[in-house]
A and B are shown apart, each in its own frame.
Chain A
Amino acid sequence: MPSVKINKKSTDTDMTPFVDIAFLILSFFIMATKFKPPEPVQITIPNSVSSQDLPENDAVMVTIDSTNRAFFTVLSAKDKSVFDQIIQNVNTSRNLGLTTAEMANFRKTPTVGVPFQELKSLLDLAPEDQAKVTMKGIPISDTNANELIWWIGAAKKAYVDAQRPLKWLIKGDGNSKYPAFEATIAALKKNDEYKYNLVTSLENAPTGTELEKAQRAGKPLPK
């Protein structure tokens, strides 16, 4: 009796296209990823319809977190010498008596959020230890002792000396209160700076509004 032979089919699937797709997606993500710079605090930025790109170099950012603490960050990845200039300016204008080593450490300090009295002890720490310190925030609430004025003044002077334009960024948490923002503006105004960039994330213009119509027509609204 002839036995019926069932044709055995291979269960082997060809994985090659699968690998192709996987690596295609992988390469997309590698290229699209930009690693977040270390941040002292988590900030939830508000939305706006503005689509302007954020300057990444030659900018000074004032961060306000949800508990109204202010932080001062210098964004200058290309030219580290401005860090030295700024800390030197602060050191001389406020008579902080920082050592050369402490001033050199400022280059590696991601962000400053302490009053001037505590700056020395902050700069004594290694950058990785600085991240563990809970910073009080730069005092801004008192109009007469707004320390942000000195920081901004020092940054402005460093950039004026280097003859380079400097942009002012304000990155506020959506839940921070208005007075903190007002104090930041006041500190900038004291240094004769009147144009700022607020850091926001993009949202679409609501339908039926002037802006939406203008965007659809491809013309910006007159200023």
Chain B
Amino acid sequence: MASIDTSGGDSHKKGPGVKKAKKLSTRVDMTPMVDLGFLLITFFIFTATMSTPKAMDLRMPKDVDDPKKQNEAKESGALTIMLGKGNQVYYYEGQLKVDVGMNNFKQTTFKGIRDIIINKRKEVMSRYVTDPECEAKAKADGKPEGYCRDKDFVVIIKPDQDATYKNTVDILDEMTINGVRTYAMVKILPQEYDLIKATEQSGGNK
């Protein structure tokens, strides 16, 4: 199939009457084999699952009903991030203030939240007062230098009921990306949810 017979017209060489023993070529036509090979390759390419899924760690705290026993975050070092509908992110620093002129409830996107986390972390680190107890512990545990500088920095994540699972994973990922060590996933407060709803309506964000 892959070869064209080029031997034609040579039969008269030996003269008339001389019977020629038919020479059989030892060449095997490889074309069907190639066809089959590529067919199988195509099959395996289509069935292959190349990107194997990975696992991401998530640790949740134990539920504590007694508010006195709950871990308290230092107000100055806290950043609360809320996730809303349509991949929108809302945040405030420290305690929520909604009074006019004092409003610290802000809106951003997943692109913008990284800078906000980084800046807040820098700000917390700049206010660090040497804590001998923490420094000694970090040294004993073999932690790198400056480990204690951002010990007061806490991110509180509050996805609301319109947030998708992807948003949740993205924000948890953002914690890993920016090296935030202390973060917690907490249920959203009704007041915060109302604020998100109000922002959605006034901002025309569907």
Residues of A within 8 A of B159 (CB): 178, 182
A16 touches B58 (CB 8 A): no
Query: Could you show 15 A-B contacts with beta carbons less than 8 Å apart?
Result: A12-B3, A15-B2, A19-B37, A33-B49, A45-B53, A48-B56, A50-B55, A50-B176, A177-B161, A182-B187, A196-B57, A198-B55, A200-B54, A210-B179, A221-B179
CB of B59 within 8 Å of the partner chain: yes
CB of A211 within 8 Å of the partner chain: yes
Bound complex: CA A8 to CA B57 (Å):
70
A198 touches B37 (CB 8 A): no
Residues of A within 8 A of B58 (CB): 170, 195-198
CB of A26 within 8 Å of the partner chain: yes
Stretch at the interface among A52-60, A97-105, A117-125, A158-166: A52-60
Known: A32-B48, A222-B143. A18 touches B34 (CB 8 A): yes
Interface, chain B (partner A; CB < 8 A): 2-4, 6, 27, 29-31, 33-34, 37-38, 40-41, 44-45, 47-63, 83, 114, 143-144, 147, 159-170, 172-173, 176-179, 181, 187
B165 touches A46 (CB 8 A): yes
B55 touches A201 (CB 8 A): no
Candidate in B60, B63, B114, B170 with the most chain A CB atoms within 10 angstroms: B60
User: Which 7 residue pairs spanning A and B have beta carbons closest together?
Assistant: A15-B30, A22-B37, A174-B166, A29-B44, A12-B3, A197-B55, A210-B179
Q: Taking the nearest CB of chain A, how far is it from the CB of B90, in angstroms?
A: 14
Q: Taking the nearest CB of chain A, how far is it from the CB of B138, in angstroms?
A: 9
Bound complex: CA A172 to CA B170 (Å):
13
A175 touches B165 (CB 8 A): yes
Known: A211-B179, A222-B143. A50 touches B40 (CB 8 A): no
Which of A10, A26, A32, A195 is close to B57, meaning CB atoms less than 8 Å apart? A195
Bound complex: CA A53 to CA B55 (Å):
6
Bound complex: CA A198 to CA B158 (Å):
18
Residues of B within 8 A of A194 (CB): 59-62
Which of A9, A54, A196, A223 is close to B54, meaning CB atoms less than 8 Å apart? A54
Residues of B within 8 A of A47 (CB): 169, 173
Bound complex: CA A174 to CA B165 (Å):
5
B165 touches A176 (CB 8 A): yes
